[in-house]
Structure 1
Amino acid sequence: MITLVTGGVRSGKSRYAESLVPASRPAAYVAPGLVPLGGDGEWARRVAAHRERRPGCWATVESSDLAAVVCSSSSPVLIDCLGTWVTRLVDDAGAWDDPVAAAEEVGRAREGLVGALCAARVDVVLVTNEVGWGVVPEHASGRMFRDELGRVNADVSAVADRVALVVAGRVLDLSTAPVVP
């Protein structure tokens, strides 16, 4: 089963996603973002809080190759989150100032992930941020990020068996909602 959990920042989506994976069995917790350098204490505290609430039998995998992780896993996979994944893809490509290159890089990775999800032999839970509901970003890089993450979210949602929107700590099940063609 493929489950996408989306919502705003600090809405409870990660905690909800974690509740969908059995705590008593091994699982792969995939952290696809980069760990910031330079002593970002606030980010380090966020990462520590996530680690502390995960069961000890879950393995942490730090990788941006989500398709490979999904294809090679023999236990459930929890990916948290697609927003940090898109950020890492664009960072690794050095493409923040080149929206065409960024779109190509994210597009290739998105296609690979969707293909892997369609062929997955294990349950996969993916967490993502829902962006673009507010102010249009001032900078082209922010607009590009919003657009690319929106495309990733839509494509993953289209192949997901379940989709949940977490808003203000409440879960709305979107699984039976129509998919935009």
Structure 2
Amino acid sequence: MPEQRNSDNRIILVTGATKSGKSEWAEHLATQAEQNAEKANVQKSVIYVATARPQLDDREWQARLDLHRQRRPHHWKTWAVESDLPSIFLGATETDCLLIDSLGTWLANVLEQDDEMWQHNLKTFLQNLRNAKSDVILVAEETGWGVVPAYPLGRLFRDRLGHLIRCVGTIADTVYLVTGGHVLNLSQLGFPLDQHLS
């Protein structure tokens, strides 16, 4: 059974497939948190944590990044974090809302880590997330619903990401799945698997 968090902050996980609208929904939730805080006369600053590496020689990839950038409000801060994602929670405060997009691109950036190093990285990430003072919205790609990748690195990525999403889901207050043009609140529709297996 996962450890209980002793904090007033909110942790939200948004998962979905490619082009499902998961990033747009996460951005909507961040905007909503900002607006709700404003109505309550509380300061709330959204910090967009971009994990994707720029690839200037890949026009299609750059177009994707530009689309995300254009969609974000100009007053949001942006932190570019390619590999050391666990440390970002240490620099955030109660008045921040971190929007991390995405866990899959972060994992791709550190996929060369051996199992021992990755397990240490994962443990640190989950511990820092659990102890975060800020609100946190995490975007993650669902990659395990298709065929088994034909090459080892693809299988490693899929397995690690699936496990990462499951671990984050046990910590999150709310988990959303975005698919088929709809948003499903899995926290209302289902129950935490790990709690029912213990």
In structure 2, distance between residues paired with 1:175 and 1:158: 10
Counterpart residue identity of residue 82, structure 1: L
Residue equivalent to 1:142? 154
How many residues were matched structurally? 171
Residue equivalent to 1:68? 87
Residue equivalent to 1:45? 63
Residue equivalent to 2:126? 114
Identity %: 40
The answer to whether 1:157 aligns with 2:169 is yes
Q: 123, 126, 131: which is aligned to 2:135?
A: 123
Q: Quote the offset at 1:108 in angstroms.
A: 2.0
Residue equivalent to 2:76? 58
In structure 1, distance between residues paired with 2:172 and 2:30: 16
Aligned CA RMSD, in angstroms, stands at 1.5
In structure 2, distance between residues paired with 1:109 and 1:34: 19
The structure that has the greater radius of gyration is 2
Q: Quote the offset at 1:146 in angstroms.
A: 0.3
Residue equivalent to 1:16? 25
Q: 103, 124, 143: which is aligned to 1:82?
A: 103
Give matches, 1:92-103, under 5 Å. 94-95=112-113, 101=114, 103=115
Residue equivalent to 1:36? 55
In structure 1, distance between residues paired with 2:16 and 2:91: 28
Counterpart residue identity of residue 143, structure 2: V
Structure 1: gaps spanning 5 or more residues: 96-100
Q: 4, 8, 11: which is aligned to 1:2?
A: 11
Counterpart residue identity of residue 13, structure 1: K
Counterpart residue identity of residue 52, structure 1: Q
Q: Deviations over 1:130-178 (max 9, x none)?
A: 1111111000110010000011100000100000000022100011422
The answer to whether 1:133 aligns with 2:142 is no
1:127 partner SS: strand
Q: Deviations over 1:23-46 (max 9, x none)?
A: 665311111232225x10001111
Q: Which moved more, 1:59-68 or 1:81-90?
A: 59-68
Q: 173, 176, 179: which is aligned to 2:185?
A: 173
In structure 1, distance between residues paired with 2:119 and 2:186: 25
Q: Which moved more, 1:22-31 or 1:126-135?
A: 22-31
In structure 1, distance between residues paired with 2:180 and 2:119: 31
